[in-house]
Amino acid sequence: MSDSTPLAVCFGEGMVALVAATAGPLEDCRTFHRSLAGAEWNTAIALASAGIRTSVLSRVGDDGFGRFLTAELRAHGVDDAAVEVDDQAPTGLYVKELSARSDGIVDGTMHYYRAGSAAAALSPRTLVTPTASALLSEAALVHTSGITPAISASALAAQDALFTDRRPDRLVSFDLNWRPALWRGREAEGKAIVSDFARRADIVFCTRPDAEAVFGTGDPQELRALFPQPRYLAVTDSRGAVAFDGEERAESDALDVPVVETIGAGDAFAAGFLAGVLTGLSLTGSVARGHRIATRALLSTRDHVD
């Protein structure tokens, strides 16, 4: 990729996913497949696959899982120079339990082991290392999500610092990614926090179910009225997407492809849409690009595109 292409920086937690090889209860599963996971990391890989120069800003443990994650980034053409290595805290992981539905789609249930992880120690200091500062000063886009502020108070402070350091030549993208389990016992606080980030972003993504849970409506037009501040707003569900650029509206059905599992498709859609914005596509073209990349995430039980 040429250095003249726009640079996207994805800020957030990377994790190792251990995916059950067969559907069924975890106690009956003997084999697991290892893969990279984490919303912003999935989006970074999909952005790179779309030809966007992409870096990840994050932290991993000084362990085999951390080395696996950074190697995976490099293998997919994503720069890992700003991924700090923590020699005290481990890399987070989750185990994905699979269950087969009668319609042939596989449902995934995640069991997380992330408490005290290296990524949970993300903080404003993460943003001011020489490598991170250089990337952020060059970035045309910074992408993050509603997961990051939920994993720790220091990660919330870091995300707030990113949104506060606004620059006219840099877009800030925010994917709602509402995870109720991460906000258990503080749901009202969590909804207020992610709502604030959505209003401060230039580009916002949300699924209809997440928007209904957090904002009380999944209707795209009502959401646009609630959130007029972002230039772009994209609302998705399994049937398709409705997106806004200012007052312009574009609507598109999802592509008809065989679905193995839906986890990761939203991250891939966001990447395709962002790639469209960064390369000057129309709103309709950006939505279409989002759908094309999302279909690649639907074809496997991995969270990211190949």
Average pLDDT, the chain: 91
Residue 52 lies in a domain: yes
For 218-255, the pLDDT digits (tens) are: 999 999 999 999 999 999 988 889 999 999 999 988 76
Residue 23 has pLDDT above 60, yes or no: yes
| CA–CA distance, 38 with 148 (Å, rounded to integer) | 10
- What pLDDT score does 104 carry? 67
- What pLDDT score does 139 carry? 98
Residue 217: Cβ within 10 Å count: 14
CATH of the domain at 289: 3.40.1190.20
For 180-200, the pLDDT digits (tens) are: 989 999 999 999 999 999 999
Residue 271 lies in a domain: yes
For 76-109, the pLDDT digits (tens) are: 999 999 999 999 999 999 998 988 777 767 787 8
21 by DSSP, 3-state: which? coil
Amino acid at 289: R
Give the Å distances, CA to CA, from 266 to 37, 40, 197, 274, 301: 13, 11, 18, 12, 14
Residue 139 lies in a domain: yes
Mean pLDDT value of segment 148-158: 97
| CA–CA distance, 140 with 283 (Å, rounded to integer) | 18
Residue 301 has pLDDT above 50, yes or no: no
Full-model pTM: 0.90
What sign does the dihedral 294-298-302-305 (CA atoms) show?
A: negative
Q: What angle do CA 73, 127, 4 make, to 5 degrees?
A: 55
Residue 162 lies in a domain: yes
Residue 204 lies in a domain: yes
Query: Would you name the residues annotated as active-site residues?
Result: 267
Residue 152 lies in a domain: yes
Instruction: Output 103-106 pairs: Cβ under 8 A, ≥24 positions apart.
Output: 104/259, 105/259, 105/260, 105/261, 105/262, 106/23, 106/260, 106/261, 106/301
Q: Which residue has 């966001």 as its token pair? A: 270
CA-derived radius of gyration, the chain: 18
For residue 207, what are the domain limits?
7-12+39-59+77-83+119-297
Q: Per the structure, how many domains does the chain have? A: 1
Residue 263 lies in a domain: yes
Residue 22 lies in a domain: no
